[in-house]
């Protein structure tokens, strides 16, 4: 019989309103025995069933709920159903040649990320409970979804909060981990073994497509270019010239290979610079572009650093605006969950005031729909993306 956990009597406990997490501070006590990673049942203080999921008392997130149905068993059939639901949803909303197949809590599989790159899959396990089911998940990917290979990228620091070691490697027979994909007509090499996260940021797929209309016949600067994805989309869209900059020489070298793959080496160039330094330098020199793109890494990963992150976002947007020709366009993003839409908007507005620029909003977007936003899970909403005309 599953161990039963009881929540404290308090208003607005997230788990009671659909959130998949039960924090250790939410728990009054438990009845029975358990081992970390076991499936346990969760009840409100009045004995009302909330859900069941896997437990780990090492983590502040003590229980991650998998189901609200007391009769649903957590077994291979359960994971088959969940993966099928995730896949059917994605077939409706996005090109599935390469996409995020499972987005953790937003697909009701907390702690699990699966990215699909053509016929190869990358799994990221961020919680002890989901680790126990990796073999089953790999089996399903091979049997039901034609996976030619599966690689694990559970080398995220957040695993240590679960008492787990970071790990990576093959979950099937070894294969060439340099995979080629096509997105929005752009070809990319994706290094699923050594690239950031799972090898490629799929969440900006539709945002990258959205810049095509403003980049045709334009001069474009793409800062924090990483794999060169925005720069290459600008090139494919018919930009007059594109310059992508990144602080990593390895990233720049990789971008140049992607430019060659698309026969864009004459139009799309890449240079190694610290974006903060070069934005300040070039704005001081009076350099300008028709389009400036700012897609930095997350400046904050906790609430304690929000103030410094706000200053960082203001700084790069201020410098970026000064590099945009009058009537040109600024594309700016934040991928930090803790940088709320309101805070990000305030940072941009403050930058525009100091830069003495007027912004006309063209578009506001979020992450691609294969990274769905679950309204009962605020953490699933993280990406903010604006296109502005700078006047």
Mean of per-residue pLDDT scores for the chain: 96
Which residues lie closer than 8 Å to 334 by C-beta, 6 or more apart?
A: 296, 298, 299, 313, 344, 383, 384
**What percent of the chain lies above the pLDDT cut of 90?**
94
Rounded distance between C-alpha atoms, residue 369 and residue 372, angstroms: 5
Which band of pLDDT confidence, cut at 50, 70 and 90, is reported for residue 357? very high
Strands (E), the chain: 4-7, 21-23, 27-31, 39-43, 49-55, 61-67, 98-103, 112-117, 120-125, 149-154, 167-170, 178-183, 186-191, 219-223, 241-246, 268-272, 289-294, 324-334, 359-365, 384-390
Q: Tell me: the pLDDT tens digits for 249-261?
A: 999 999 999 999 9
**Per-residue confidence (pLDDT) for residue 297, from 0 to 100:** 86
**Per-residue confidence (pLDDT) for residue 308, from 0 to 100:** 85
pLDDT at 160 over 80: yes
**Per-residue confidence (pLDDT) for residue 305, from 0 to 100:** 81
**Per-residue confidence (pLDDT) for residue 307, from 0 to 100:** 87
CA distances from 83 to 48, 192, 209 (A): 28, 21, 27
**Per-residue confidence (pLDDT) for residue 302, from 0 to 100:** 72
Q: Tell me: the pLDDT tens digits for 21-75?
A: 999 999 999 999 999 999 999 999 999 999 999 999 999 999 999 999 999 999 9
pLDDT at 11 over 90: no
**Per-residue confidence (pLDDT) for residue 377, from 0 to 100:** 93
Rounded distance between C-alpha atoms, residue 38 and residue 144, angstroms: 26
Mean pLDDT of 260-264: 98
Residue 341 has a CB neighbour count (10 Å cut-off) of: 12
pTM (two decimals): 0.95
Which band of pLDDT confidence, cut at 50, 70 and 90, is reported for residue 12? confident
CA triple 146-129-34, angle to 5 deg: 145
Mean pLDDT of 270-287: 93
- 134: helix, coil or strand? helix
Which band of pLDDT confidence, cut at 50, 70 and 90, is reported for residue 96? very high
Sign of torsion, CA 62 67 71 74? Answer: negative
Q: Tell me: the pLDDT tens digits for 207-217?
A: 999 999 999 99
Q: For the chain, which domains are there?
A: 4-67 (2.30.130.10), 76-179 (3.30.750.80), 203-390 (3.40.50.150)
Q: Tell me: the pLDDT tens digits for 163-201?
A: 999 999 999 999 999 999 999 999 999 999 999 899 999
Catalytic residue numbers read 335
Please give the DSSP secondary-structure letter assigned to residue 249.
H
Q: Tell me: the pLDDT tens digits for 295-326?
A: 998 887 777 788 888 999 999 999 999 999 99
């Amino acid at each position: 019989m599953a161990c039963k956990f009881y929540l404290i009597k308090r208003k607005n406990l997230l788990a009671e309103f659909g959130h998949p997490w039960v924090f250790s501070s939410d728990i009054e006590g438990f009845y029975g025995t358990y081992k970390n990673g076991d499936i346990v049942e969760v009840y409100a203080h009045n004995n009302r069933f909330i859900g069941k999921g896997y437990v780990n008392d090492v983590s502040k997130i003590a229980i991650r709920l998998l189901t609200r149905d007391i009769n649903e068993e957590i077994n291979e059939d359960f994971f088959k159903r969940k993966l099928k639901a995730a896949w059917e949803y994605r077939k409706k909303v996005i090109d599935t040649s390469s996409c995020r197949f499972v987005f953790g809590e937003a697909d009701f599989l907390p702690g699990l990320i699966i990215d699909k790159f053509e016929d190869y899959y990358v799994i990221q396990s961020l919680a002890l409970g989901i680790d126990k089911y990796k073999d089953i998940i790999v089996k399903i990917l091979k049997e039901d979804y034609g996976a030619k290979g599966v690689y694990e990228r559970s080398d995220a620091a957040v695993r240590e909060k679960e008492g787990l070691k970071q790990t990576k490697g093959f979950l099937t027979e070894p294969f060439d981990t340099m995979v080629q994909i096509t997105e929005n007509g752009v070809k990319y090499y994706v290094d699923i073994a050594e690239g950031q996260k799972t090898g490629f940021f799929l969440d900006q797929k539709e945002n990258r497509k959205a810049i095509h209309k403003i980049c045709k016949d334009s001069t474009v600067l793409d800062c924090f270019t990483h794999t060169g994805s925005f720069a290459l989309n600008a090139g494919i869209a018919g930009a007059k010239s594109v310059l992508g900059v990144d602080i990593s020489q390895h990233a720049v070298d990789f971008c140049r290979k992607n430019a060659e793959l698309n026969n864009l080496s004459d139009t799309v160039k890449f240079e190694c610079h610290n974006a903060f330094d070069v934005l300040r330098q070039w704005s001081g020199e009076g350099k300008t572009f028709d389009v400036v793109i700012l897609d930095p890494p997350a400046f904050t990963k906790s609430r304690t650093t929000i103030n410094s992150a706000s200053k960082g976002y203001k700084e790069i947007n201020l410098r970026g605006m000064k590099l945009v020709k009058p009537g040109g366009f600024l594309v700016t993003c934040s991928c930090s969950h803790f940088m709320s839409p309101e805070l990000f908007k305030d940072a941009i507005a403050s930058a525009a005031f100091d830069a003495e620029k007027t912004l006309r909003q063209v578009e506001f977007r979020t992450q691609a729909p294969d990274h769905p936003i679950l309204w009962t899970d605020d953490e699933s909403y993280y990406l903010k993306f604006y296109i502005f005309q700078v006047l």
